Structure 1
Amino acid sequence: MHSINLPSKPATSPHPIFNLSFRIFFSAAGLFAIVTMLLWAFVFTGHTDIDAQVLNPLYWHGHEMVYGYALAVIAGFLLTAVKTWTGVMMPHGYKLLGIFSCWLLARLSWMAVGLGMTIAGSSLSWLYIGAVFDLLFIGWMAFVIFRAVLQVKQYKQMGILAKLALLTLGNGLCYWGIINADMTMTKIGIYLGFYLIIGLVLTIGRRVVPFFIERGLSVVNSQGDQEDVILRNSKTQDIASLLFFLAFFIVDLFYPNKYLLTITALGVALVNLIRLIGWYHRGIWQKPLLWSLYIAFLGMCLSFVLYALQPWLGYAHSIAMHGLAIAGVGMMTVAMMTRVSLGHTGRSIHQPSKMVNVMYGLMVLVFISRVLLPLVDIDHYLLWIMVAQGAWIACFVLFCISYLPMLARPRPDGLFG
C-alpha cells in the first residue's frame, strides 16, 4: 500500500476545459477531425498548393491522422486514466494548457504545409517548427505519465510508456525522412506510429472494453435480483494477441512475405475473435456506448482478415490498412470519447444522447464506403472515398455539437474534474 500525498488546497484551473486532459484534448480531436478531413479532401483532389517535392500528400494525410488526431485522443485518455490508475493528480490548468499548446502549434504547422504556405519560399520551415512542438508534446506527455507511475511504483504500466517512447521515435523518423528527402524513412515512421497506436488500442481495449461492458449492463434474474455480469478473458489470450500482432507488425513493415503476413494477420484476428466471443452479452445491443466498442473490435478483426487475404486476392494494401484505421482508431476513439466524457463530467453513462447512435452509424458507413465497397465496385472508387470523407466529417460535427458544450462546462455535482 503506497500513500499518496494529497494537495494542500483544491485543484483549480482558469476554465473548466482545462480541469482534466480529456476535456481539452477530446474537444480538440473532434474539431481537428473535421478540419483535417476537409483539408485532405482538397489536397486529395488537387485543390491546394502542397509541395509534393517536400512531402508526399498521402504522407501528409497519414501523419496527421496518426500523430495529430489519434495522439490527441490518446493524450486525453491516458492523462486522465493515469490519474485514476495511480491516484496522482495529472497536469491541469496552465500546465495542461502548455502540453496542449505544443500539440496545437504542431498541427497548425502541418496545416500550413497542406495549404501550400511557405516561409522564405519553402514549406520545409513549417515542418521544422512542427518537429519541435510535436516532439515536445509527446515527450512532455510521456514524462508526466512516467513520473506518476514511478511515484506509486505501478511498473505494470511501463508497457504503455514503452509504446509512447516508440511513438516519439516514429514521429522523429517521419521528420528525419522529410528533411532528408527519404520517402522510405517517412513511410516507416508513419506506419510505425500507426501500428503502435493499434497496439495501444489492443492493450487498452483489452482492459476497458470488458470493464465497460461489465459495469454498463444490469441483468435482473427471475427473482428480481440484480446480477453482476462477469466476462471471460485470459492471460493466454493477452500473450497470444501481443505475439501475433508484434510478428504481423514486423512482417508488414520490414519483412514483406505473403505467407508470414497471412499467418500472423489471421493469428491476430483469431485470438481477438475468441476474445469477442468471451466478451459477448446480448444486452450490449441495448446500450450504444457498449455495442460501439464491440463493433470497433469486430471491425479490427475483419481488417486483419483483409490483410491476410490481400496478397492472394490482389486488392490494394491500403484497403486493409484503412479498415484497421477506421475501426481501430476512428470507431474506437469515438466510442471511447463519448463514454469517457459522460463518466468524467459526472453524467450518467446509462443515458447518453440519442445522437450517439447516429454518430456510430456514420462511422460504420465510413468503414463500409472506404473499405468494403471498393472491394466489390472499384469503378466508383473515388465516389466511395468521398462518401467516406463526408460520413467522417458528419460524425464529428455531431460529436462536437453534442459533446463540446459538456466538455466546456463544470461538472453538475460541482467537483473538480
Structure 2
Amino acid sequence: MLMNIAPIERSPHPVLNLGFRIFFLSAAGFAIITMLMWYVILVGWLDFTASLNPVYWHGYQMLFGYALAVIAGFLLTAVKAWTGVPMPVGWRLFAIFLPWLIARILWIVVIAINNPLLILLAMATDVLFWLLVMVAVLQAVLIVRQKRQLGIVAKLVLLLLCQLTFAVGALSNQQEMQRLALYTALFVIVGVVFTIGRRVLPFFIEKGVAVLPDGTPSGIQAKLHNSLLVDRLSLFVFFGLMLAYLCDANSYLVSALAVGAAIINAVRLCWWHHVGIWQKPLLWSLYLAFWGMVLALLMIAILPWFGFGASLGLHALALTAIGMTTVAMMARVSLGHTGRNIHKPPKTVVLMFVLMMASFILRVFAPMVATDYLLVLGLSQLCWMGCFVLFLCAYAKILVSPRIDGLMG
C-alpha cells in the first residue's frame, strides 16, 4: 500500500488544491477561445499577420495549448495515486500553470503583431511549462522507483522535443519542420491517451457497473479480460505506424499498420465491453471515444486510397483522442476527485458528449460530400465550442469549490 511520503500542503484557494482543477477549467475556457479565433481567421474577419502558417498556429494551440493542459491536469492528479507522492498544490501548482497562461496570451498577441521576439517568448514559456510538469512527474516516479511509469515519462520527453522542434521551425521559417513537429506531437498524444486508457478504462468500467446511480451496489461483479501480449503488440504496432507515417513510408505499409493498430484496439474494446456501461454517461462516453480512435485509424488506412487528403484522417484522430476522450475524462475526474457521485453526473453531460460527437461527424465526414466547406467547418466549430460552454456551466463551480467531504484535493 502506497503512503504519502511528504506532508500535505495547503492551498490559498480550492482551484489550486490539485492539478486537475485549474488545468481542466482553463483548458475548457481556452478550447472555446482558440476555436472562436480560428473561425474568425478562416472567414477573414481577423487578419493573421504573423509569419507563421495559420494552419500550424491552429494545430499548435490545439496540441500544445489545449491537449497538454488536460494531460498536465490529469498527470498532476493521477501520479499521486500511482506513486503515493504528493503532487504540487497551492502556489507551487500556480507556478506550473502561470507559464501556460502567459504562453496562451502571447500566442494570441502573435496573430496581430508579427514579431519574432513574441514567438520566441511564447515558445519559451510553453517549454518552461512543460519542463515543470515533467519535473513534477519524474520526481515522483524516481522517489518510489516505479519503472512502469517510465513509458509515460518517455512520451512527455518526446512532446518536449516536439515543442523545441516546432520552435526552431517557427523561428527559422522552416514549415516542413513545423509540420513534422505537429504530426509527431499528435501521434505521441494519441499514444499517451491509449496508455492512460489501458490503465483506467477497464478499471472505470468494472467499478462503474458494480454501483447503481444512487450509490448502492448493483450486484454485478465484472472482471474484464486483458492481455499483456496484446498490450505490448498495441504499443509496437502504433509506434511503427507513427514512424511509417512520419517518414512518408510506402502507402501499403502505412495502411497495414493503421489497420493492425485498429484491429488490436478493437479487440481490447470488445473485451472491455459490458452492457452496464450504457446506463452510465461517464462510461459510454469514454468507451465510444476509444471506438472513435479505432475508426480514425481505419480512416488513416483507407481514405488516401479514395483520393481524400490526410487532413480528414488526422482530424478524426485528433477529435477522438483530443476531443471526445479528454472531455469524457475531465467530466469523470472532476467529480471523482471532488468527492462527488460519479454515477450521477450533471444532466448536461449527455448533450455535452453529443455535441462533441457532432463536431467529429461534421469535421470528418461532412466535408466528403458538402459543397460549402466553410459552412460545415463552422458548424463543427460551433458544436465544439458548445460542448465546452456546457462543460463550464456544469463543472466550473465544482472545480473552484472545496471537496464536499472536506478533504484536501
TM-score range, shorter chain: over 0.9
2:357 aligned partner, one-letter code? V
**Cα drift, residue 2 of structure 1:** 7.2
TM-score, normalised with respect to structure 1: 0.95
Corresponding residue number in structure 1 for 2:53:
56
2:82 aligned partner, one-letter code? W
Distance 1:23 1:3, change over 3 A: closer
Whole-Å separation in 2 of the counterparts to 1:2 and 1:338 = 26
Residue 290 of structure 2 is aligned to residue 293 of structure 1: no
Whole-Å separation in 2 of the counterparts to 1:29 and 1:288 = 21
Corresponding residue number in structure 1 for 2:346:
353
**Cα drift, residue 219 of structure 1:** 7.4
Corresponding residue number in structure 1 for 2:399:
407
Corresponding residue number in structure 1 for 2:39:
41
Corresponding residue number in structure 2 for 1:105:
102
Whole-Å separation in 2 of the counterparts to 1:309 and 1:290 = 29
Decide whether the 8 Å contact of 1:2 with 1:152 is kept in 2.
no
> How does 1:79-228 map onto structure 2 within 5 Å?
79-114=76-111, 116=112, 118=113, 122-218=114-210, 226-228=219-221
Whole-Å separation in 2 of the counterparts to 1:214 and 1:108 = 42
Distance 1:4 1:358, change over 3 A: closer
Decide whether the 8 Å contact of 2:209 with 2:220 is kept in 1.
no
Structure 1 residues 288-336: Cα deviation after superposition (integer angstroms, max 9, x where no partner): 0000011101111011111111221111210111111111110000000
SS in 2 for 1:142: helix
Distance 1:259 1:225, change over 3 A: closer
**Cα drift, residue 381 of structure 1:** 2.1
1:73 aligned partner, one-letter code? V
Whole-Å separation in 2 of the counterparts to 1:130 and 1:378 = 37
Whole-Å separation in 2 of the counterparts to 1:128 and 1:157 = 32
Q: Which runs of 4+ in 1 moved over 3 A?
A: 1-4
Whole-Å separation in 2 of the counterparts to 1:3 and 1:341 = 23
Residue 370 of structure 2 is aligned to residue 342 of structure 1: no
Whole-Å separation in 1 of the counterparts to 2:334 and 2:158 = 28
Whole-Å separation in 2 of the counterparts to 1:354 and 1:50 = 39
1:36 aligned partner, one-letter code? T
Tell me how many residue pairs correspond in the alignment: 405
**Cα drift, residue 244 of structure 1:** 1.2
Decide whether the 8 Å contact of 2:99 with 2:128 is kept in 1.
yes
Whole-Å separation in 1 of the counterparts to 2:218 and 2:270 = 26
Whole-Å separation in 2 of the counterparts to 1:24 and 1:290 = 24
**Cα drift, residue 225 of structure 1:** 7.7
Instruction: State, as a whole percentage, how many aligned pairs show the same letter.
Output: 47
**Cα drift, residue 245 of structure 1:** 0.7
Decide whether the 8 Å contact of 1:219 with 1:228 is kept in 2.
no
Q: Report the aligned-residue RMSD.
A: 1.5
Decide whether the 8 Å contact of 1:173 with 1:185 is kept in 2.
yes
Decide whether the 8 Å contact of 2:3 with 2:85 is kept in 1.
no
Corresponding residue number in structure 2 for 1:370:
363
TM-score, normalised with respect to structure 2: 0.96
Decide whether the 8 Å contact of 1:24 with 1:76 is kept in 2.
yes
Structure 1 residues 118-177: Cα deviation after superposition (integer angstroms, max 9, x where no partner): 2xxx33221111111111111111011111111111111001111111100001111100
1:246 aligned partner, one-letter code? F
Whole-Å separation in 1 of the counterparts to 2:98 and 2:346 = 30
1:344 aligned partner, one-letter code? H
**Cα drift, residue 379 of structure 1:** 1.5
**Cα drift, residue 227 of structure 1:** 3.2
Distance 1:3 1:345, change over 3 A: closer
1:374 aligned partner, one-letter code? P
SS in 1 for 2:294: helix
Whole-Å separation in 2 of the counterparts to 1:332 and 1:281 = 19
**Cα drift, residue 380 of structure 1:** 2.7
Decide whether the 8 Å contact of 2:313 with 2:364 is kept in 1.
yes
Corresponding residue number in structure 2 for 1:5:
5
Decide whether the 8 Å contact of 2:3 with 2:84 is kept in 1.
no
Decide whether the 8 Å contact of 1:219 with 1:229 is kept in 2.
no
2:382 aligned partner, one-letter code? G
Whole-Å separation in 2 of the counterparts to 1:232 and 1:372 = 33
**Cα drift, residue 28 of structure 1:** 0.3
Gaps of at least 5 residues in structure 1 are none
Gaps of at least 5 residues in structure 2 are none
1:237 aligned partner, one-letter code? V
